[in-house]
Amino acid sequence: DAGVIQSPRHEVTEMGQEVTLRCKPISGHNSLFWYRQTMMRGLELLIYFNNNVPIDDSGMPEDRFSAKMPNASFSTLKIQPSEPRDSAVYFCASSYRTQGLREKLFFGSGTQLSVL
């Protein structure tokens, strides 16, 4: 049973370039989350979707960041233009969310982003 799949695993780019991170959630899951992990700030929630609809994007740092979920099996996180301070590990996670709180979040392996 495939878990959450992220690509690429590593991305090195130059400041000012556009970066697109991709995520395929676990089949059957209806919620998808994008997190960013840094040494200084730990794991931060950027945005999450429920049934492909963005529910809360209050964690998105700036307008340079955008996320889409065109269908239940695919999501992208885009940074345009990228800056060195965007360097971090970006995780996608998915869950099956129903009424009530018995939810388990499953993470992908992450994308290590380095902006030079």
Partner 1 sequence: GQQLNQSPQSMFIQEGEDVSMNCTSSSIFNTWLWYKQEPGEGPVLLIALYKAGELTSNGRLTAQFGITRKDSFLNISASIPSDVGIYFCAGRNTDKLIFGTGTRLQVFP
Q: Which residues contact partner 1 by CB under 8 A?
A: 4, 33, 41-45, 48, 55-56, 59, 91, 93, 101-110
What are the phi and psi torsion angles at 94 (to 5°)?
Answer: -140, 160
Question: Tokens 């931060």 — which residue?
Answer: 44
C-beta of residue 67 within 8 angstroms of C-beta of residue 23: no
Q: From the CB of 17, what's the least distance to partner 1, in Å?
A: 24
- Closer CB to partner 1, 81 or 94, in the complex: 94
Q: From the CB of 9, what's the least distance to partner 1, in Å?
A: 9
Cα 45 to its chain centre, rounded Å, is: 9
Nearer to partner 1, 64 or 81 (CB): 64
Minimum CB separation from partner 1 for residue 16, in Å?
A: 27
* Residue 21 DSSP SS3: strand
